[in-house]
A and B are shown apart, each in its own frame.
Chain A
């Protein structure tokens, strides 16, 4: 897929929650860029900080002093102007959110308002950002519903969310997110609650819409199959930090970080040859407590290649190749041994 100009530059983003047991750093020093037309997959397990990262970009984390954001999120709007979203005031952010950057969530059930007709909910997103009449907004809502593949769109405007299936609700969410032609769409596990056949429909729809609009997509997911399907680039997070990042093919076919390798190996495969009652290669243990992270590499306690040096200091994110970064002290050794 051809990619264009940089629309989003996240630099040294950190998100810290104030908890009773002290500050909890949910996201640590995350930097990445996103280009127009590109899909960046944000992969990780629960507690990896992938959702918090996307919420922080949208400035949807709870306000300070509960949550402190550090770093910068530089967004280039349709007007060509570059702004730091973390420095915008609430009104400035509201003008961007849902307009130039929008978001869809995992649960289409709970993200739609159950007591409003879906047409009105989509139209509201339009009238909030543009000075158009309600009638015009509703007509646009019908067009959007049609675009996301909802049959009989005009009549469906007056449907309530509970009239629709899970897949149809997610289509409505996408229609709403696209209402103002965003430059960036953040999709947080948009297909996780859906059946595989419906997931396939939604992924196809998102691909089509992206090709038509040229928007950039940040796709947050834990499903590596979905990553392989949608992503141009991948960013793997573990315990709040990026541990590997790069193009989807190098990261998924030649992963350098033991955690990424472990994740890929622990997924059971579908092809008949790999069936059988052999055990899966699970990663032992579980993610560390974010309040007491290990002093060195946060994956060290679960890593089978661990050396004492790994536990001494947090390794840096190194460039292993063009567009392939890895946070592992031993990646060179391991790559040689594996090759």
Chain B
């Protein structure tokens, strides 16, 4: 299954998280006598995250980015591959064995309205992880810790007795972040944590996450469809398309010089809030193909304006093209447009 020799884009330090050839497939359809199809939501994904590093994961709906985030925290049982967290393979561990590791890895959800129990007070929501993981703490010690973490996210203890509906979307997301931070995790998976928020509030939460990583040194997998937010927050960025990573690179390198045609198209599609800039946009035709019947070879070739007949032959390897910059595309003769600039092809 593996089509790559080394884990992609190795970070300089010993990684906190190392994902190797991870697969998360789901059986779809089928029946008593009919064979089911396999939906390859995540297929052969490898990357590392160093301690304190923030890796951005971008892609469109259906690219498998959320599935990947959930699989890494073992909210699902991966179909194959390994997830090494601090050297231990999470895929080999059962519920019970995972429990002592849980406090070290936490999840921030997208929807601050659906991810907080409306019948629980802020104190109960934020304190719940402590009740489960640190039962030895008494109420006073718990409250002290709750106050501390609420302070970190910019809320005060005076809100502790209130219910989620009394808060705005941005404040709710702060509560969700407080809950994720209360056990002092070393690793967070944040799945579109600012997508449901208004622009002015979104900036507040992005700033909060920047501050959290600065202060607490927490590593993060930051899942988002918003390239600008990812560019602002992340050290490196991985781009997913149809279950696979098609490009992974340090943020600056990726934004200066995208190497995969899909990344170029994604950048090109983002509307820029400047009415004086009129760009030649690359409009991708059609939709993302069904992950049940992915095209042969490169999954993107049907929509790619640089596709060659060879692209259909085999799934391209994820190859390193520069220090830490990997891409899954067979064409090396392309000079792709970076954000804000026009795309150009130079035939060599």
Chain A residues engaging chain B, CB cutoff 8 angstroms = 45-46, 165-168, 195-201, 203-204, 222-229, 231, 248-249, 252-253, 262-264, 266-272, 275-277, 279-284, 286-287
Contacts and interface: CB of A to CB of B under 8 A. Distances in A.
Contact of A271 (B61, B204, B339): B339
Contacts of A195: 60-61, 225
A223 B275 CA distance: 13
Contacts of A270: 227-228, 231, 255, 267, 270, 272, 339-340
B269 A283 contact: no
A241 B283 CA distance: 36
Nearest to B273: A224
A153 to B, nearest CB: 15
Interface in B321-343: 338-340
A266 to B, nearest CB: 4
B252 interface: yes
26 contacts: A45-B198, A45-B200, A45-B201, A195-B60, A200-B281, A204-B281, A204-B283, A225-B273, A226-B271, A227-B275, A228-B271, A231-B275, A249-B275, A266-B203, A267-B273, A268-B226, A269-B272, A270-B227, A270-B272, A271-B340, A272-B252, A277-B232, A279-B211, A281-B203, A283-B204, A286-B168
B170 interface: yes
B153 interface: no
B53 to A, nearest CB: 12
Contacts of A228: 271-275, 277
A271 B268 CA distance: 11
Nearest to A149: B285
Interface string B52-77: 00000000110000000000000000
Contact of A252 (B226, B269, B274, B285): B274
A280 B232 contact: yes
Interface in B220-272: 225-229, 231-233, 251-252, 255-256, 265-272
Given A198-B287, A272-B256, A284-B204, A264 B273 contact: yes
A262 B233 CA distance: 20
Given A266-B200, A268-B228, A271-B340, A252 B284 contact: no
A35 B272 CA distance: 25
Interface in B189-214: 198-204, 206-207, 210-211, 214
B220 to A, nearest CB: 12
Contacts of A286: 168, 170-171, 200-201
A266 B198 CA distance: 10
Interface string B277-307: 1000101110100000000000000000000
Contacts of B340: 270-271
B138 interface: no
B158 interface: no
A277 B256 contact: no
Contacts of B339: 270-272
Given A200-B281, A201-B283, A268-B228, A253 B276 contact: yes
Contact of B207 (A45, A166, A264, A280): A280
Given A45-B200, A222-B199, A224-B199, A197 B275 contact: no
A197 B271 contact: no
Contacts of A249: 275-276
A225 B339 CA distance: 13
A9 to B, nearest CB: 25
Contact of B199 (A197, A198, A203, A267): A267
A229 B273 CA distance: 8
A179 B214 CA distance: 54
Contacts of A227: 273, 275
3 tightest A-B contacts by CB? A225-B271, A282-B203, A266-B203
B63 to A, nearest CB: 9
A91 B252 CA distance: 59
Residue in A165, A224, A262, A275 with the greatest tally of chain B CB atoms within 10 Å: A275
A279 B204 CA distance: 9
A223 B206 CA distance: 17
A30 B228 CA distance: 33
A227 B271 CA distance: 9
Nearest to A168: B287
B231 A275 contact: yes
Contacts of B225: 195-196
Contacts of A279: 206-207, 210-211
B275 A268 contact: no
B274 to A, nearest CB: 6
B247 to A, nearest CB: 15
A200 B273 contact: no
B278 to A, nearest CB: 9
B231 A197 contact: no
A264 B273 CA distance: 8
Given A197-B60, A197-B266, A280-B203, A252 B198 contact: no
Contacts of B277: 228
A229 B278 CA distance: 8
B206 A280 contact: yes
Nearest to A225: B271
Given A198-B60, A280-B207, A282-B204, 6 more contacts: A197-B60, A252-B273, A253-B275, A281-B203, A282-B206, A283-B203
Contacts of A271: 255, 339-340
A268 B232 contact: yes
Contacts of B198: 45-46, 222, 287
Given A249-B276, A275-B232, A200 B269 contact: yes
A287 B169 CA distance: 11
B270 A196 contact: yes
